[in-house]
Amino acid sequence: MALDTVAIAQTSPDTKQPFAELGLKPDEYARIKEILNRRPTSSELAMYSVMWSEHCSYKSSKVHLKQFGEKAPHSDALLVGIGENAGVVDVGQGYAVTFKIESHNHPSFIEPYQGAATGVGGIVRDILTMGARPIAVMDPLRFGPADAPDTKRVLPGIVAGIGGYGNCLGLPNIGGEITFDQTYLGNPLVNALCVGVMRHDQIKLAKASGAGNLVVLFGAKTGGDGIGGVSVLASETFGASGPAKRPSVQVGDPFVEKVLIECSLEIFAEDLVVGIQDLGGAGLSCATSELASGGSGGMQVQLDKVPLRDPSLSPEEILMSESQERMCAIVEPKHIARFLEICAKWDVTVDVIGEVTDGDRLIITWHGEVIVDVPPRTVAHEGPVYNRPLAQPDYINIVNAQVIDVPLPKTAEEIKAAMLTIASTPNLADKSWVTSQYDKYVQGNTILAQPEDAGMVRVDESTQLGVAISTDANANWSYLNPYEGAKLALAEAARNIAVAGAKPLAVTNCLNFGSPEDPGVMWQFAETVRGLADGCLEMGLPVTGGNVSFYNQTGDVAILPTPVIGVLGVIQDVRTRTPMGIPAAGLDLYLLGETKNDLAGSEWAFLHNQRGGQSPTADLQREMKLIDFLLANNSIFKSAHDLSQGGLAATLVEATLKNNVGATITLGDVGIELLSETPSRVLIAIDPKDAAKITYPATKIGTTGGTSLTINGAEISLDELRTVHTSTFPKLFG
């Protein structure tokens, strides 16, 4: 295929272009022609197609996501809100923290190791791009049934990829979740969160301003990976005898990323950039158009200056390449010498590829010929917006009408059997097989890590200021009621922060759903966003950003609606944190909150193949009272552990096994009290002398000590409990 230039496009309006193969609808293609007043060149077509994709443009979700802005609670903590690479929150003492979660679901299904690895790499660069030093990562994961052959293929690869990349970056992995469900078979969810810290005055934004400033590309050389759909264009270049179709999953090089992080932080410290953007999805197309669009609009780029590791790449492929570990900076000419010097120190490849102009067009040339001439906002920020049809799916009324009917343990034997089942079922079993593949110690600031309720890292060694992060989702509840499900996930994440002793501050989210073209899925999505926005407003927690992943479905079967909610909190002195494990004998155990018959969506119901019923209703006022109580009385808790999936049963297993301290428990309606998943509950251990200080509805359920967990006379030795709890994963995946 000959080079397609703007000049050629102007004189050949009728050339047939593969817009449909690139994923554009006829009306979208028509709109591009209208914007440009001619047909697009093949490079422009490639740029528009990828930037107007669902992944980059949020075209199906935008109309709903705007609620996060409209319903935003007032918050003094928010320094940078939605729209930038990641939101930034003030945590005091002059520190700002940025955090975000993103999905890398589809690549991780195709190539588990590289898909998961580059998911970590991408989110870390988003955080770095804000000017922050990344300080921790965590990874909520979801898979098909634990014993399914494909789960045995994807899970070990995904875990190794997260570890392989994150460990090599020197970022502690401090939390996450692993849940199994049939609907994730063929659609594993790999969500990656990163948190970073900087001083207030170090915040960087994605904008290219100041005519004459230089556009600098630094990091890895550009290769043919991650090109995906654009191979439609590429295939015409090479014909049948040329190189094979390129891999559409990117390949990561964590060593290059580690060096890029240190190099970038040194550049930021000397304040050498005007604006910066990482190259992730849609590569240079995205970075150049977003930088130009975020600034005054004018930019000229010489694409032939881009350093390549595959010299056979066409300009369309260079624009689309999703090669990892690359950054694009806008640098004033007076700073360029120092910028290049720092790159040389770190052996980072760097080239000036263009400059900011005072026009309002993004112009890209290839050996002197203009191949792209577009208004950048139309590529980056003014893509199509769809108000897709939505309708409550038929299953909702059917499942909501069902009544959960499961056997509940009553006798000592039944209680013991239920406890061993809960302790060993894959969703609740010990995850050390996974988390021991992640470095949790590096950087020396990890205060709490998995399996604690929240991950916690110290931000300042001299003042002991710290931040806590928790990610939560309960897809079973979201399936029954997506509006309540989103609120309940928010409540749980916030509770997990408070349980650890930190004050919830801000929210991020990763919304994983099926196809937006299915009105039922779109309804689940809309209800989820409405629930989350309402919940955040009620709890006074701003949404700082997020990510939407659609098309997680196989045929007609969509995944359970899975909004993963991340909450960030701040703790003034990390030495006051509360761990989840019972630390000693002789303490009293109290259950904060009230237990109702909430078996719908519970692990116990799931274990009995029952998916119906009605989810609990989120009572966020009650949740906030609980959080206030937890924060005000943190000093009397010897340990505190949230109740969620698996109810009190799962909480007792984890709280006793952590430090090998047993407990004797007495319950009334033992089956419900052990297995119901009523929200807003926490198990605390306190010194008996502090009993009068409990000013929140609470029930004393037992005392600590011994080498067994005994519930209403059913004695289970901790050794036996540990054996079943820890052997599930090694048996499945070892």
Partner 1 sequence: MRIGVVTFPGTLDDRDAARAVKYAGAEAVSLWHGDADLKGVDAVILPGGFSYGDYLRCGAISRFAPVMTEIIAQANKGMPLLGICNGFQVLCEAHLLPGALTRNHELHFLCRDQTLKIENTTSAWTSNFTKGQEIVIPLKNGEGSFQCDDETLKLLEDNNRIVARYVGENPNGSRNLIAGITNERGNVVGLMPHPEHAIDSLTGPSTDGLPFFTSVLTALVGK
Catalytic residues: 55, 104
CB-nearer residue toward partner 1: 219 or 561: 219
**Look-up of token digits 């026009």:** 359
- CA–CA dist 237, 540 (Å, integer): 54
Binding mask 234-273 for partner 1 (x = CB under 8 A): -------------------xxxx-xx--------------
Binding mask 140-169 for partner 1 (x = CB under 8 A): --------------------x--xx--xxx
CB-nearer residue toward partner 1: 260 or 301: 260
In whole angstroms, the minimum distance from the beta carbon of 437 to partner 1 comes to 5
In whole angstroms, the minimum distance from the beta carbon of 258 to partner 1 comes to 6
Report the amino acid identity of residue 411.
Answer: T
In whole angstroms, the minimum distance from the beta carbon of 159 to partner 1 comes to 8
CB-nearer residue toward partner 1: 441 or 692: 441
Q: Give, to the nearest 10 degrees, the angle between helix 519-539 and helix 620-632.
A: 40
**Look-up of token digits 């760097």:** 350
Q: Please report, for the chain, how many H helices and E strands are present, in that order.
A: 26, 28
User: If phi over 0 gives left and psi between -120 and 50 gives alpha, with beta otherwise, what is residue 240?
Assistant: alpha
Nearest to 318 by CA among 300, 306, 328, 302: 306
Following CA atoms 393, 394, 395, 398 in sequence, which dihedral angle do they give, to the nearest 10 degrees? 140
Select the span of 434-442, 506-514, 651-659, 708-716 touching partner 1 (CB under 8 A): 434-442
CB-nearer residue toward partner 1: 81 or 164: 164
Q: Give, to the nearest 10 degrees, the angle between helix 254-269 and helix 112-129.
A: 0
Query: Interface with partner 1 includes 386 (CB under 8 A)?
Result: no
Query: Interface with partner 1 includes 452 (CB under 8 A)?
Result: no
Query: Interface with partner 1 includes 732 (CB under 8 A)?
Result: no
16's CB contacts (< 8 A; 6+ apart) are: none
Give Cα 671 distance to the centre of its chain: 35
The only residue of 445, 470, 509, 708 in contact with partner 1, by rule CB under 8 A: 445
- CA–CA dist 63, 43 (Å, integer): 29
Pairing of strands 189-199, 133-143: antiparallel
Query: Interface with partner 1 includes 170 (CB under 8 A)?
Result: yes
Q: Which of residues 335-354 bind partner 1 (CB under 8 A)?
A: 346-347
Strand positions, DSSP E, 580-681: 588-592, 637-642, 663-665
The only residue of 55, 104, 326, 440 in contact with partner 1, by rule CB under 8 A: 440
Query: Interface with partner 1 includes 415 (CB under 8 A)?
Result: no
Query: Interface with partner 1 includes 547 (CB under 8 A)?
Result: no
In whole angstroms, the minimum distance from the beta carbon of 72 to partner 1 comes to 35
The only residue of 201, 441, 556, 609 in contact with partner 1, by rule CB under 8 A: 441
The only residue of 25, 66, 245, 575 in contact with partner 1, by rule CB under 8 A: 575
Buried/exposed code over 503-539 (b: 16+ C-beta within 10 A; e: otherwise): bbbbbbbbbbbbbbebebbbbbbbbbbbbbbbbbbbb
Query: Interface with partner 1 includes 100 (CB under 8 A)?
Result: no
Query: Interface with partner 1 includes 719 (CB under 8 A)?
Result: no
Query: Interface with partner 1 includes 60 (CB under 8 A)?
Result: no
At residue 229, the 3 state secondary structure works out as helix
Q: Which of residues 459-478 bind partner 1 (CB under 8 A)?
A: 461
Query: Interface with partner 1 includes 634 (CB under 8 A)?
Result: no
In whole angstroms, the minimum distance from the beta carbon of 729 to partner 1 comes to 13
* Per rule CB under 8 A, count of chain residues that contact partner 1: 34
Report the amino acid identity of residue 457.
Answer: V
Contact positions toward partner 1, by CB under 8 A? Answer: 160, 163-164, 167-170, 253-256, 258-259, 346-347, 432, 435-447, 458, 461, 574-575, 734
